[in-house]
Structure 1
């Protein structure tokens, strides 16, 4: 390396951050958005990433990208349950991450490594950080409500407080209102012990970190954040969301986004379109797809429906029901993947039918769009319950996918007074989010504190 460049780095005291995202869509984007925010504050950013679902470096020309092997085939990546994949990645990534990080430490091209920021599910990074004597900060990508719920479940299970209502899924859990038994986060896996090990390792790794960043904001989750802060004390909790707003839309889609839908939206009446997308990993069966199709057709509402390859269980693609296209040709658009934040921000969109992944839920709130909720797994059931019963900016399809209920729910959301009231409430939350990002707002101040803290390391 040129000696003058070394001197320049030393004079500027460049702070070099290494970030490690989990290779799932809902985890990659928040981490890269965080990196974008910190780069704007003067930090040098290196992204160490797995070969599987690797980010596109051309989307982030100011970052340095370093791949590591993960031992996963494409087939296994799409067929294993998510918790098993996380467990595998924690086993296979430790050694290559250690090796790549060691080389970065010895190579001063980007400045000495100040700190590593990793997805909280990568608990193996605790051992690596300890070995290399590097500070470590974690990023959590779920809602504060989900983390507060999980902490409460530890206590409830240990004290036998769930056993009485185990067979009553609609029963409320008094200790964690407004949740019911059936709203408990679903961490399904082929190995029942996988989640227990992962949760224990995560908690241990969290309590040894220097800080915990969350993609949420006080104006939305103040009560849940208070509980999480108490549970994680004395580890500083830094709520500085919504990250996608802070980072001016930085994203890395694992699927090709179809921007042609934006021209179609331009032709629609304001707040008339319901946008349907169940995320990058959820799948439904063919029968459910047909019920959704006829519910949309019979609702008489304009719609933009994302049907990505693989979204129908066991099929790359299936034909839509006979007669559906003829009935909806003038008011419907179906695409394989959408530029979601731009779609939700479009004035023609008046509702979002979602699986309630946290990124999707947060984006809908921050763009002022009420929701129709069909949660699938992980934290989505908690998020959906908060959308419908705490923030009251949406409603949940409680009985699965049935065309009559779908038709009725869409009309309630899009044209009835109930939907208009939700639209007013979600607009207030949108305003709260914007205030949090402004100078003096809670997320703004959290970012400034994080920058000062890292600079002091």
Structure 2
């Protein structure tokens, strides 16, 4: 670690949003800043801190200047059970509204902390547009942390600007996204609900994007070798400076223990069972299936997945959220059948994804196309079956399938908010089996696998000293240091 005098050392506050897809990469980025000699404070609430505190304590013991500053979440005031402070813990739309109210209630307290701590820079999640004003009051830069891909940001920008979907006869009619270097076709149904129909979130998004243009710059958990065309397009179109510093998960979670504990506060049960099962399989023979932390598929869809996997004939390891297990004898019968035939392994509720993806037996992944899962799969050099559900996931699918050419779409048709998924199966067993066979056993998949491996190698080089993501971070920190020195000079003159 670089030692610097107190006056020169940068003091940066990170403010993550309490949802795994936002919080995990921001915490990893904060840890990366600390490993480059920055004094880092992460502001969060107790239940959220408990999911990553072990990693922060470990970094601190290794001599890095990093800490969490915990503020109480107003659970009782908004009517939430104790410990429910993260979007992943909610079970209804009403609870989501209460979490949002609780987050907004913390704003004044966080503003006071900014003033007390006198940081040199704020790195805040895109969903906190008000922090651009906080930084302006303090006369310091605010960096906007974007939790998805450049491709997504560019595609959504051009769709909002040109509104090509508004000129169509039906929601299933295809249109080309204007302004992109590749021909990308989508349907209106694949766009976010708040783009298709104006609602409260549409106004909030406008405030978010307005704060983006007034920020010092944006941080992306991406890398030049992955989507350099779109990195360039973003800067030229939006006129906002950006720094790609990813994949941050690969930078920080190198040991097995870090991979196992990332973003989780409970000890993993029955590790030996699934690990022994994986160890018994041939290299690249197992398909991993996971839909992330938020998505809870209906029972009918889980049964279609089970039958699709069985009909594909390929070996699999599948993570299912625990809520789906209660009283579900058909899935338990399927689990027992797979156990006996040694064709499949089910992990209920949560699994150490980084550890599993890096196992030599894994040959591909069925993913909901969350940006973190895509980057983690890429870092492991794995091709994907793409099954987007909501938000940016349909854009990310287009990047994986049409631009990078390392994915097979399962045929997901409608972008539905994750709390609004109905009871019917959206994707049929035949389509699931077909996509799995194509990914795991076809001639075309060999080329996909080669491309995915190449990107996996690039993802490792980019974060090493001299790599583009490493250099970007160094350049950003140098820029922030010179700004700090300028402010100090102005104060003394």
TM-score of the two chains, using structure 2 as the length reference: 0.81
Matched, 1:121 2:127: yes
**Structure-2 residue corresponding to 1:334:** 346
Look up the SS of the partner of 1:431 in the other structure. helix
Q: Aligned-pair distance for 1:181?
A: 1.9
Structure 2 unaligned blocks of 5 or more: 61-65, 413-425, 485-493
Please, which of 426, 436, 453 is the counterpart of residue 462 of structure 2? 436
Aligned to 1:167: 170
- Describe how 1:310-349 pairs up with structure 2 within 5 A: 310=323, 312=324, 318-321=328-331, 323-329=333-339, 330-336=342-348, 337-349=350-362
- Cα pair 1:366 1:433 within 8 Å, conserved: yes
Q: From the superposition, tell whether residues 435 and 154 of structure 1 become closer, same or farther in structure 2 (CA, over 3 Å).
A: same
Whether the 8 Å contact between 2:408 and 2:438 is mirrored in structure 1 is no
Q: What does residue 15 of structure 1 align with?
A: 10
Tell me by how many angstroms 1:97 deviates.
0.6
| Alpha-carbon distance in 2 for matches of 1:183, 1:440 | 43
**CA gap 1:197/1:71 in 2 versus in 1, 3 angstroms:** farther
Q: Which residue of 1 aligns with 2:263?
A: 252
1:242 maps onto 2:247 in alignment: yes
Structure 1 residues 130-139 or 289-298, which shifts more?
A: 130-139
Equivalent residue for 1:109?
none
Distance in 2 between residues matched to 1:274 and 1:302, nearest whole Å: 6
Give the Cα separation in 2 of the matches to 1:66 and 1:226.
Answer: 36
Moved more, 175-184 or 22-31: 175-184
Structure 1 residues 408-444: Cα deviation after superposition (integer angstroms, max 9, x where no partner): 2212211121222211111122222233223433212
Contact 1:297 1:324 in 2 (8 A): no
2:171/2:189 contact within 8 Å kept: no
| TM-score of the pair, normalised by structure 1 | 0.87
Return closer, same or farther for 1:427/1:183 CA change in 2, 3 Å cut-off. Answer: farther
In the alignment, structure 1 residue 94 sits paired with structure 2 residue 110: no
Counterpart among 62, 65, 68 of residue 68 in structure 2: 65
Aligned partner (choices 369, 389, 393) of residue 382 of structure 2: 369
Equivalent pairs counted in the alignment come to 436
Equivalent position SS for 1:372: strand
For the aligned residue pairs, the C-alpha RMSD in angstroms reads 2.8
Residues 25 and 254 of structure 1 are in contact (CA less than 8 Å); yes or no, is this contact kept in structure 2? no
CA distance in 1, matches of 2:96, 2:336: 42
State the partner residue of 1:108.
none
**Per the alignment, in what secondary structure is the counterpart of residue 123 of structure 1?**
coil
In 2: Cα distance, 1:427 partner to 1:273 partner: 16
Instruction: Report 1:112-261 matches (<5 A).
Output: 113-157=119-163, 161-165=164-168, 167-175=170-178, 176=180, 177-182=183-188, 184-187=190-193, 192-233=198-239, 235-249=240-254, 251-253=262-264, 257-258=268-269, 259-260=271-272, 261=274
Specify the SS of the correspondent of 1:352.
strand
Q: Is the CA contact 2:296–2:321 (under 8 Å) kept in the aligned structure 1? A: no
Q: How far apart in 2 are the matches of 1:183 and 1:221?
A: 25
**Is the contact between residue 23 and residue 52 of structure 1 (CA under 8 Å) also seen in structure 2?**
no
**Contact 2:335 2:345 (8 Å CA) reproduced:** no
CA distance 1:104–1:174, change in 2 (3 Å): closer
